[in-house]
Amino acid sequence: MTVGVLALQGDFEAHTAALARLGVPARPVRTADEILASAGLVLPGGESTAMWKLMEGTGIADAIVEVARRGDPVFATCAGVIVAARRIEGPARAGLGILDATAIRNAYGRQLDSAVVTLTDLDREAFGDEPLEAVFIRAPKLAGLGPGVEVLARRDGDPVLVRQGNVVAATFHPELGADPRILRLAFSSALAAALAARAA
Ligand code: GLN
C-alpha cells in the first residue's frame, strides 16, 4: 500500500522524495484509478489554475474526494490546499470541499509573497517546543474555518497549518524543509490507522 502523490503539475517530486526519506512508500499518481488505489494522498503545491485544467473531465476530482471521505490520510500543501478548500477567492470558485475553509489565493503582499518564516505559534501537543521553519511561496491564506478544523500553527495570527480529521493542510511547503514533523503528523499515525482498519 503506497501513498499517491498527485503528479499533474507542481512540486510532486519533492513530496515523493520527502516521504521516501521518512520511510513512507509513495509514488506519483496521474489517473482516478491510481488515486483510488492509494492508501493516502498528497496534493502538492504548484499552480491551482493549471491543476483544475488538467483535472477537467478525468474523474480525478471525484477520486480525491472519495479518498478523503473514506478516511485515508490526505496531506495538502499550498496550491493543493486551494484545490482542497470548500471555497476559493481570487477569483471566486468552489473547491473540492474536503477542507471546510476558504482559501484566498496569493494573499500575502508582493514583498512578503515568498519567505522562510520561523513559526513559533504551534500546537504544543503536536510539535513540542521546537519552532518550525516554514517555506512560503505565493501562499494562500485560510479563512472561514469550519467547526471541525483545528489550527496547528499560525503565522502572524493567520492559520497556516490545519487539520480536519484525516485531512492535514499546510499553506507552506514542508517537503522543501528538513523538518519531518509535519509529514509525520500527516501520515504516520493516520496511515497506520487506515491500514489497521483495512486489515481488520
Ligand atoms: N499561488 C499558487 C496558486 O494560487 C499557489 C502557490 C504554491 O503552490 N506554491 O495556485
Write out the three cell numbers for 87: 471555497
Please report the pLDDT score of residue 196 as a whole number: 57
Residue among 53, 47, 62, 55 nearest 12 (CA): 47
Please report the pLDDT score of residue 78 as a whole number: 98
Mean pLDDT of successive 10-residue stretches along the chain, which has 200 residues: 95 94 93 97 98 98 97 96 98 98 94 91 92 96 98 97 96 92 81 59
Please report the pLDDT score of residue 188 as a whole number: 72
Distance CA 111, CA 200 (A): 52
pTM, 2 dp: 0.94
Active site residue 15: no
For residue 48 and ligand 1, the question of a CB distance below 6 A is answered with: yes
For residue 107 and ligand 1, the question of a CB distance below 6 A is answered with: no
Residue 104's CATH number:
3.40.50.880
Active site residue 175: yes
For residue 85 and ligand 1, the question of a CB distance below 6 A is answered with: no
Active site residue 66: no
Distance CA 108, CA 106 (A): 6
Overall domain count for the chain? 1
The pairing of beta strand 158-164 with beta strand 167-170: antiparallel
Range of the domain at 23: 3-199
Instruction: Indicate which residue's Cα is closest to atom 2 of ligand 1.
Output: 47
Please report which residue ranges of the chain form alpha helices under DSSP H. 12-21, 32-36, 48-55, 60-69, 79-84, 124-127, 181-199
Angle at 15 between CA 11 and CA 18, to 5 degrees: 140
For residue 105 and ligand 1, the question of a CB distance below 6 A is answered with: yes
